[in-house]
Structure 1
Amino acid sequence: MTVVSRFRPGRRLCLAGLAGFAIIAAALFAVDRADRAYPPPLDAARELSTEVVDRDGLLLRAFTTPEGLWRLPVRLEDVDPHYINMLIAYEDRRFRSHFGIDPIAMARAFLQLVANGGRIVSGGSTITMQVARLIEPRAERTVPAKIRQMARALQIERRLSKDEILSLYLTLAPYGGNLEGVRAASLAWFGREPSKLTLSESALLVALPQSPEARRPDRNPAAAEIARNRVLERMQLAGLIPESEIARASRLPVNGGRRPMPDLAAHSAEQARASRPEQQKLALTLMRGVQSRLEVLASETASRLPPKASLAMVLADGETGEILASVGSTGYHDAGRSGAIDMTQAVRSPGSTLKPFIYGLAFEDAIADPETLIDDAPADFAGYRPRNFDRGYMGEVSLREALQMSLNVPAVRLLEAVGPQRLLSRLKRGGVSLDLPPGGAPGLAIGLGGAGISLRDLVQLYTAFANEGRAQALRDEMDSLALPRLSHPVLDDRARWRVGEILSGVAPPQGAPRIPIAYKTGTSYGYRDAWAVGFDGRHVLGVWVGRPDASPVPAISGIGTAAPLLFDGFARAGLKAVAFSPKPEGLVVRTRGQLPFALRKFGPRGEPGLARSASSQAPTIVYPPEGARVMLSERSSGGLSPLVIKLQGGAGPYRLIANGTPVERPSRRKTINWTPDGAGASTLTVMDGEGRAASVNVFIDADG
C-alpha cells in the first residue's frame, strides 16, 4: 500500500497534462475547422483590370474592372526595390519576421488607446492586417473590427508567403479616386511604370494609402507634399537614406495633375478583348514604340485633313505576317471623324493599288516585258472606256513607265489579256477575296478599283513582294499560332521581282524623306479613297485616307495625300531598312533592243500594235493541264526525261518560256519537248508568232 500511494501525485500530474494537451488539441482543431469553414475571401480580391500588352509585354491599353477601378496586376520584381524598402520601413518594420500580427506594435497601440480614453491613435496594423482590411472593406475603426483583421491576418499568413502578401497589398492599396495598386498609381500620377521611381515619388506612394482622398496630388497637393515629407523624415531617422538626398527630394514640388492611362492601339485592343473576354492579359504582335509614333503622326495629320476625313495605317512584317502597328483612325476618341470606326478593316475601293498584280501576271505569262511598248490612248473595251486620272494620254510608253505613272488604259489592256478571273484567282492565293458588285462576272473595272478590299487585306497581298511571291497571312495576337506562308504564290518570283524593281523607281512625293522603298498609290472613283502601299525587303506599310461614311473628299489623292503619309510613316517607325532581295537566278534583264520581236510592242487583237491574224485562235496548252503533277523518270546519264508539251490553236512559230526564261528555239510544230532542270513547281508559257500566250503551272516529280 505504501508503494502505491507514492505514485499517486505523478499519476495526477500525468492525467492533468494529458487533459491540457487534449484541450489544446481540441482548441487547435476547432480553430483549424473554423479557419477552413470561414477562409479569407482572397479570390474575390483578385478582380483585376484587363490589360493589353505589346510583343515585349509593354502596356498598350488597360480597361477598368467591372466596378470601374483601375487595378492592374503587379509583380514585386517590376517595382522599384527602394520603394519596397521604404514601404516596409514605414508601415511594418518587422513584416518579414512576424506571423501576421506584430505584438510590439499592438502593445504600443493598446497603451495609446488607454492613454487617450479609448480613442484609437495608432492601430498597430501590419501590412498583412491592411491586406485583410482591403479584401473585406469595413468603414468602422473599432476594437471588434481590429480583432477581425487580426484573425484574418493569421489566416492570410497561413496561406500565402510574405512576397505574395506584399504583392497583394501593392495590388489593392488605394491611391486616390478609382486607383488601386501601386502600378495604377504610378501610371496615373507619374506617367510611367513603377520600376524606376524617384525618391520623391516613392515617398508619395508610401504616404497615399493612409489617407488617399485627403492627400490626392491633383486635389490637395499641399497635403500630399506634407505627407510625402513626413515619410522622408522617417527614412532619415531610420538611417535608410542620406540626409542630402532627403533634403533634395523634399524640395521637389508635388505634380498635381493626373495623367491618362495608356491608350494605344485602341481598335486592336477592343477587338482582342471582345474575342477573349475571359482573358485578363492579352498580348499583341504590335511594337509599342512604333505604334505610339504612328498614332502621333495620325493625330498630327488630322488638322491637315478635310473635315470628317480620317485615315488608317497598317505596318506588317512581311516575312512573319506579324502586324507591328495598326492605326484605325486619326484618334479613337475623335468623334468628329468617326474615330471609333476601325478603318483598317473597312472594305473600300482600292483604286490603282491592284495594278502591280496585273503587270506581274503579264510578266509571268511572258506576254510582255518591262521594256515592252504599249499604247496609252483612248480605247473601247466592249463599252468600257477607261481614262487616266488626269484625263490625258501619254501615247506610246513602256510598261515600266505605264506602271510608274499608274496609267489606266495600259493596265486595262493587260488585264484583258491575262483575264479578270485569273487576277481574282491569284489574289485568292494571297488569302484575299475581293468584294465584287452584286451579280455578273468580274469585269475589267476591277483593275482600276471596281471592287472592294480592306487596308489590312491589301497589306497582306503586298507581303508577297517581300516573300518571293508568296503572301503571308497577317496576325496581331501573340498567342495565336504562327501562320505559315500561303501555299501557292500570288506571283512567281521573277515576275514579283520585276514589279518590285519597277516600283522602287517611282520618285517619292515632293518634300518626303528619301527612303529606299517601292510603293504604289491609288485614288478611288469620285475621290472617296486615297491609298499608298510601300515595302522594303521585309516590311509593308499601307495607308488609307478618306471619310468613314464613304462620301467624296475632292481634295484627296493617292500621290498627294496618302503617299506623303506613307513616307513619313516609314521614317517615324524607326525600323531598320531591309534591302530588296537580289535578282532571281536565271532572270535575264533586257533592253528594248534585245527583246524578241513579239515582245517589243504589246497590241491585243483588233487594236493597233503587232500584226495579228484575225482568223486564228490564241494558243492553248492542252497538255499538261493547269495544276498537273507530272512524273518524269530519271535517265541513267543523269537528269530527267523530257516533258512533251502539246498545243492547240495559235500561229507559228511557237516559243517555250519556262519560269520566265526562253528554253527552246522557235518551232512551228505543236508539240514541244522540254527537259526540266529538276523536280519542283514550274510555270510554262508558250508564245505564238503573233505575241499571244498561254500558261500553265505544273509540278514535276522525279520517278527515281
Structure 2
Amino acid sequence: MAVVLLAFALDRLFPLPPTPQYSPVVLAADGTVLHAFLNPTQKWRMKTELSEITPALQAAIINKEDRYFRFHCGVNPFAILQAAGRNIFRHGRTTGASTITMQVARLLEPKERTFSNKLLEMLRALQLEAHYSKAEILQLYLNLVPYGSNIEGVKSAALLYFQQPPDYLSLAQTVTLAIIPNQPRGLVLGKNNATILAERNRWLRRFGAQQLFAAQDIADALAEPLDAHRHAAPTLAPHLARRLVTQLPGQAIIRSTLRRGPQTQAEDLTRNYVRRLHELGISQAAVLVVNNRTRAVEAYVGSADFGEVASAGQVDGVRAIRSPGSTLKPFLYALAVDRGLVTPKLKLPDVPTNFSGFRPENFDKSFSGEVTVERALTYSLNIPSVRLLAELGVGTFTEKLRDAGFRRVAQDAPRLGLSTVLGGCGTTLEELTGLYAALADEGRYQAVRLTSPPGASPPNPLSCGEGVGGGGSGGQLVSPAAAFLITEMLAQRTRPDLPVGYENSRHLPKIAWKTGTSYGRRDAWSIGYNRDYTIGVWVGNFSGEGSPALTGADVASPLLFDLFNSLAYNSPNRWAAPPASLDFRLVCAESGLVPGEHCPNQLIDYYLPGTSSARHCEHQKEALVSADGTISYCRACVPASGFRRQLFANPLPEVLAFRESQGLPATRLPPHNPACRLVRNPDEEGGAALAITSPVANAEYLLNRREKQQLLLSCAAGSEVRQVFWYVNDRFLRAASATERVFFQPPSGSVKISCADDHGRNVDIHLQIAEL
C-alpha cells in the first residue's frame, strides 16, 4: 500500500509532459490529406491515427526496436542486464536497452544521455505504461520518431517522401521508414538512397528469415526500387484549410467535406480561366461547389492563385462581402409566388418609375412597357423587380434572407431599401450558393457544411448540417411550388445572359442559372444548379476595381458551364417535377390575369390554388360613346339612341404615359359629354388612380436662381383622362393635357404641388425648395 501511495504521489508531483504539438492537417472526405501546416515549433509532425498503423508497420517497428514490447511494463529487465554486460565487458554492439516506451519518454523530454537521465527515462516509461495503452504508446512513438531535418513522425515522412499516407505504403516503403529513425542524419531519403536501399534489403531478409512476412511479399519488396525524394506538403484548398484551422484551433486532424477530385479540377479550371481574363483587367475568381442532398461543400476555391501577391490571392473570395447584383431576384420572385402576388404569365409594368426618389434603370437602359414575370426574371429587368419588392415589402424580404444565413443583410436590415434586390446590400458567395441550393431542394434551406463528424467518410447523405459552415436557422424558405416555378424560369435558354457561342453548343449543361453584375461592373456572378449540385462563381478584382468587360453573362457564366461539364458531366439527367400543390388555369394573354368579359386570347399558366390572385382581367374597358366617337357618356347622361359601345385599352396610367411618350398606339377615352351636369363621383366611376411622376414627393431641390432653373410637372393618368389642372400652394397654375410636360419656377421653402384631373380625382405632394 505504501508503494502504491508513493507512486500515486510522485505521479501527481511529476506529471507527464504535455502531448506533442502536431501539424494541423485538413483531410478530404475520403480521409486523404488536402492541406498540411507546420506545427508551432516549425516542424512537420502530422498525427498518425491508430487506423493508419497497419499490421505490417507494427510488426516491422516492434521486431526491429522492441520485440517484447507487448509483454513488459515499460522497462525490459533482461534487456537491461544484457546491455550492461555488453557495455561493461565490451562484448558485441553497445546498446542502451531502450524499449519503445523508454524512447517515447526520451522523445517527449529530450535530455543529455547520462546514467541519471537513463534512470529518469525508465521511471517515465513506467509512468507512461500506467497512463496509456500499448497501442497509444506505439502511436506516440510513431508520431515522434525523427526522419531528419524538421520531419517527425511516420505520417509526415510517408507524405513528404512517398506522397502516400502510412496505410497506403508498400512493404518495402514501410520497412524503409522503420529503419531510418535510428540514423536520421545518416540515412536521408533522397540523399543516401543507395545506403538506405542496402539497409532496407538487409532488414527485409532478416524479417524473411523470421517468417515475419510471407515469402512472396518479401521477394516483391526486395525487387522494389527505392526512388524517394522530398516533396512539398499537400496544399490543396488553401483558403478553406486556413479557415478551418483558425476556427478549430488546437485540432490536429480536421475532416472537411471536400472531395479531392472536384477540388483539384475546380482549382485548375479557375486558375487557367482567370489567366485568360488578365488582359481585360480582371484578376480573380472564386468558386463554391455544394452537394444539394447533403449540403456538403465538395470544392472550395477562394481565389485563382493563393500565391499571387499582386492580385491579393490570399483573400478568400468565398467569404468576401460583395454586392450581389441581380442574383437575389429569383428569391424575391419565389416569395412573391408564395404570397399570391405573381404567376409566370402575369404581366408587370416595365416603364420609367419613380419609387419615392429611387429611379432604377434596366441594365440595357431600355424599357418594354409590360412584360411577363418569367421574362422579367430571365431578362433580369430591374424595374419590375423593384416594383415587386415594394409590393412584397423590404422587411419581409430581408427577414427571409436573414433566415437563409445572410449575416450582413441581417445587420444592415433597418437601413436597406428597394435597391436591395438590385445589389444594394452585402453578401458572400457562400451565402448565395446556399440560397440557390435551397431552390434546388424544393425550397428547403440548410447551412452548407465544411466539416464532417469524426468517422464520417464520405459524408452521410442524410446528415443535417453538422460541422463548421454557414449560418441561418434552416427550414422551408419557400414552397416547393415556388421553387419549381423559379427553377423552370431559370432553366430557359432563350435569354440575353447566355454566353456567346453557347446557343447551339452540346456542352451547355442542363441547369437553372442566374447571373448578376454589381454597380460599376465590380462583381460578376453566375450561380447555377441541377438536382445534384449547386455551383457559385464570382469573378472580379479584390481591390474593388471595375472593368468594362465584367458582367455575369460574359465572364462568370462560361466558368460556371465549364465547372458543370467537368464536375457533373456524368450526373443523372434528372430534373425537378411539378409538385401536387401546383395546378393549371387559363389566363388572359394580354395581362396574365383570370380572363374577364373581354379576353378572347387566352393561354395556360401555373398557379397555386387558394393562394394565387383570382383578380379578373380588365385590360379592356367598355365605354359609351357618340356615333362619331367624339364624346363619351356616363350612365347618367347616355342618350336614348345615337350612341354605341366601344372597347378601349385600359392599361395602368404609367404604362399609358410610357406608350404615348414612345409614340406607341395608346388610345384615350373621348372627353366626357359636356352637357352632363351631374357631379361625377370618381370612386363610383372607376378608372386608374392619378399620380404625380415629377417632382419627387418629400424631396429637397436646390435651384440656381441666376440660371432661372425650373421644375418639371408631369403625371400619370388613366385613359379616360384628357385634361389635368396644376396647383402650387393651393393656387391654380395652369391646365394641361394629361401627357403634357409643364415647367414652372417654384417659390423657396416648403411647396405643395397638387394635380386634379377632369374626372374629379386629385393628388398632393410636398417638397422643399432651396436657392443657391
Alignment TM-score, normalising by the size of structure 1: 0.72
Change in 2 beyond 3 A, CA 1:302/1:178: farther
Query: Is the contact between residue 47 and residue 253 of structure 2 (CA under 8 Å) also seen in structure 1?
Result: no
Q: Are positions 1:614 and 2:588 aligned together?
A: no
1:261 deviates by 2.9
1:88 matched residue in structure 2: 62
Aligned-partner Cα distance in 2 for 1:435–1:58: 37
Give, in whole Å, the separation in 2 of the partners of 1:248 and 1:278: 41
**Alpha-carbon displacement from aligned partner over 1:218-245 (angstroms, at most 9, x marks no partner):** 3433333333233223223323345664
Task: Please name the residue that 1:554 is paired with.
Answer: 548
Kept after mapping to 2: 8 A contact 1:175/1:181: yes
Q: 2:283 aligns with which of 301, 304, 309?
A: 309
Q: Which of 176, 180, 201 is 1:208 aligned to?
A: 180
- Alignment partner for residue 462 of structure 1, among 417, 431, 436? 436
Q: Residue 316 of structure 1 aligns to a residue in which SS?
A: strand
- 1:598-655, Cα deviation, whole Å (9 max, x unpaired): 56989654223899923389xxxxxxxxxxxxxxxxxxxxxxxxxxxxxxxx9xxxxx
Q: Does 1:235 align with 2:207?
A: yes
Q: Deviations over 1:359-389 (max 9, x none)?
A: 3344445554323455666666677665544
1:131 aligns with 104
- Paired position in structure 2 for 1:451: 425
Tell me the SS of whatever aligns to 1:165: helix
Contact 2:50 2:135 in 1 (8 A): yes
Query: Which aligned pairs between 1:329-344 and structure 2 lie closer than 5 A?
Result: 329-344=303-318
2:402–2:410 CA contact under 8 A, matched in 1:
no
Which residue of structure 1 lines up, in the alignment, with residue 582 of structure 2? 587
Q: Does 1:194 align with 2:173?
A: no
Q: Any conservation in 2 of the 1:232–1:250 contact (CA below 8 Å)?
A: yes
- 1:668 is matched with which residue? none
Cα distance, 1:154 vs structure 2: 4.0
Distance of aligned partners of 1:371 and 1:277 in 2 relative to their CA distance in 1, 3 Å threshold: same
Distance 2:22 2:136 in 1: 16
Aligned partner (choices 485, 491, 499) of residue 504 of structure 1: 491
What residue identity is the alignment partner of 1:233?
R
Quick check: 1:60–1:265 contact (8 Å CA) kept in 2? Answer: yes
Gaps of 5+ in 1: 1-24, 618-649, 651-704
1:273 paired residue number? 245
**Equivalent-residue separation in structure 1 for 2:443 and 2:19 (angstroms):** 53
- Using the TM superposition, give the Cα deviation of residue 178 of structure 1 relative to its aligned residue in structure 2, in angstroms: 1.8
CA distance in structure 2 between the partners assigned to 1:155 and 1:429 by the alignment: 53
How do residues 419-434 of structure 1 correspond to structure 2 at under 5 angstroms?
420=394, 422-432=396-406
Alignment of 1:462-501 (within 5 A): 462-478=436-452, 486=473, 490-501=477-488
The alpha-carbon distance between structure 1 residues 255 and 553, as it changes in their structure 2 partners (threshold 3 A), is: farther
Flag the 1:584–1:159 CA change in 2: closer, same or farther, 3 A: closer
Aligned residue type for 2:270: A
How many angstroms apart in 1 are the aligned matches of 2:489 and 2:12? 76
Which aligned pairs between 1:1-16 and structure 2 lie closer than 5 A?
none
Residues 440 and 173 of structure 1: is their aligned pair in 2 closer, same or farther, counting only changes over 3 Å?
closer
Q: Distance between the aligned counterparts of 2:129 and 2:581, measured in 1?
A: 73
Task: Name the CA shift for 1:300/1:218 in 2 (closer, same or farther; >3 Å).
Answer: farther
Aligned equivalents of 1:524, 1:131: Cα separation in 2: 59
Distance in 2 (CA, whole Å) between partners of 1:367 and 1:116 is 97
SS of residue in 2 equivalent to 1:543 = strand
Bigger mean CA deviation after superposition, 561-570 or 478-487: 478-487
The 2-side partners of 1:562 and 1:145 are apart by 65
Asked if 1:536 is matched to 2:530, the reply is yes
**What is the deviation of 1:474?**
3.8
Counterpart check, 1:185 vs 2:157? yes
Q: 1:441 to 1:99 in 2, by over 3 A?
A: closer
Deviation at 1:125, TM superposition (A): 2.9
Match of 2:377 in 1: 403
SS at match of 1:129: helix
* Larger deviation, residues 399-408 vs 521-530: 399-408
Q: Secondary structure at the match of 1:498?
A: helix
Q: Could you tell me whether the CA contact under 8 Å between 2:351 and 2:369 is conserved in 1?
A: yes
Structure 1: how far apart are the matches of 2:35 and 2:284? Answer: 22
Contact 1:90 1:234 in 2 (8 A): no
CA distance in structure 2 between the aligned counterparts of 1:29 and 1:260, rounded to whole angstroms: 50
Contact 2:653 2:689 (8 Å CA) reproduced? no
Q: Matches of 1:419 and 1:151 in 2, distance apart?
A: 74
Q: Which amino acid aligns with 2:98?
A: S
Superposed counterparts of 1:662-673, under 5 Å: none
**What RMSD over aligned residues (CA atoms) do the two structures have, in Å?**
4.1
CA distance in structure 2 between the partners assigned to 1:347 and 1:236 by the alignment: 62
- 2:429·2:537 contact (CA, 8 Å) conserved in 1? yes
Q: How far 1:31 moved relative to its partner?
A: 7.9
Distance 1:406 1:218 in 2: 59
- Equivalences, count: 590
Percent of aligned positions with the same letter in both sequences? 35
Q: SS in structure 2 opposite 1:138? A: coil
Q: Cα–Cα, structure 1 residues 603 and 338, in superposed 2: closer, same or farther, change >3 Å?
A: farther
**Superposed displacement of residue 103, structure 1:** 5.0
- Which residue identity is paired with 1:614? A
Q: Kindly tell me: are residues 89 and 452 of structure 1, through their superposed partners in 2, closer, same or farther at Cα, counting changes over 3 Å?
A: same
Cα shift at 1:202: 0.6
- TM-score, reference length from structure 2: 0.66
Q: What secondary structure, in the 3-state scheme, does the structure 2 residue paired with 1:606 have?
A: helix
Deviation of 1:195 (Å): 1.1
Aligned to 2:695: none
Pair 457,251 (structure 1): closer, same or farther in 2 beyond 3 Å: same
Query: 2:34 aligned with 1:47, yes or no?
Result: no
Q: 1:436 to 1:154 in 2, by over 3 A?
A: closer
Q: Which residue, out of 526, 529, 552, partners 2:520?
A: 526
Cα distance in 1 for residues equivalent to 2:390 and 2:248: 46
**Aligned ranges for residues 107-122 of structure 1 at < 5 Å?**
108-114=82-88, 116=90, 121-122=94-95
Question: What's the CA shift for 1:415?
Answer: 4.3
Separation in structure 2 between the aligned mates of residue 317 and residue 441 of structure 1, nearest angstrom: 34
User: In structure 1, the residue corresponding to 2:320 is in which secondary structure?
Assistant: coil
Aligned equivalents of 1:158, 1:424: Cα separation in 2: 59
Aligned to 2:52: 78
Where do 1:562-577 residues align within 5 Å?
Answer: 562-574=556-568, 576=571
Summarize the Cα distance change of 1:441–1:212 in structure 2 as closer, same or farther, 3 Å threshold.
closer
Q: Is the 8 A contact 2:518 2:524 kept in 1?
A: yes
SS in 2 for 1:585: coil
Contact 1:412–1:447, Cα closer than 8 Å, also in 2 = yes
CA distance in 1: counterparts of 2:99 and 2:581, whole angstroms: 77
3-state SS of paired residue (1:174): coil
For structure 2, the 5+ residue unaligned runs are: 454-464, 596-615, 620-649, 660-665, 669-685, 692-717, 719-772
- The code of the aligned residue for 2:688 comes to A
The alignment status of 1:357 with 2:327, answered yes or no, reads: no
Query: Matched residues in 2 for 1:159 and 1:51: separation?
Result: 26
Whether the aligned pair in 1 keeps the contact of 2:395 and 2:413 (CA below 8 Å) is no
CA contact (8 A) 1:372 1:600 kept: no
Please tell me whether the aligned partners of residues 436 and 450 of structure 1 are also in contact (alpha carbons under 8 angstroms): no
Q: Which residue matches 2:677?
A: none
Q: How far apart, in 2, do the equivalents of 1:37 and 1:398 lie?
A: 78
- Distance (Å, rounded) in 2 between the aligned partners of 1:198 and 1:549: 49
1:277 alignment partner AA: P
Whether contact under 8 Å (1:512, 1:564) holds in the other structure is no
Quick one: structure 1 residues 586 and 85, their matched pair in 2 at CA, closer, same or farther if it must change by over 3 Å? closer
Per-residue deviation, residues 498-536 of structure 1 (Å, max 9, x unmatched): 111111223665258443321111122222111011122
Give how far 1:207 is off.
1.2
Does the C-alpha gap of structure 1 residues 83 and 350 become closer, same or farther in structure 2, counting only changes over 3 Å?
Answer: same
State the alpha-carbon separation in 2 of the partners of residues 475 and 240 from structure 1.
45
Tell me: CA distance 1:244–1:316, structure 2 relative to 1, closer, same or farther (3 Å).
closer
